[in-house]
Amino acid sequence: MEAHYNDWDNFDTDAQALSNDPIFLNWAESSGLAHNVIHLRDLAITIFENTSTELTPDQTTQLNTRFREEENLHLKRKIAIALFRHGDESDSVMAQLDEAYKNDEELREQVGILLSI
């Protein structure tokens, strides 16, 4: 994998390539979601957004806990995307997706495609 400093489009592409690797999924669950460095939390969320691996009950619990506790609205909306992609259509998830579509230019297109808007 090539290093891409401050190149977030390529970073997201690289993160997608890692999203099904059990080592990275384990890191995302065990320490990434709760990390105090926002970019590392973002990476953990991106891994969960993009993995095609079925989430374990523990991973789903970790995502839901982070969803309730996350103070950064952008990251909270990304968690909503991850939860939705893994079958969660609860009112709280749908409300965050609606907010992301209306108010988060970076996520608007992704949420529009996800919800077929």
Task: Name the residue range of residue 102's domain.
Answer: 8-114
Q: How many domains does the chain have?
A: 1
Residue 1 lies in a domain: no
In a domain, 71, yes or no: yes
Any domain includes 38: yes
Q: Which long-range contacts (CB under 8 A, 24 or more apart) does 79-87 make?
A: 79/45, 79/48, 81/49, 81/107, 81/110, 81/111, 81/114, 82/45, 82/48, 82/49, 84/114, 85/49, 85/114, 86/48, 86/54, 86/55, 86/60
Model confidence over 6-41: pLDDT tens digits?
565 666 666 677 888 899 999 999 999 999 999 999
pLDDT band at 1 (very low <50, low <70, confident <90, very high): very low
Predicted structure pTM score: 0.85
Q: Is residue 2 part of a domain?
A: no
pLDDT value at position 117? 80
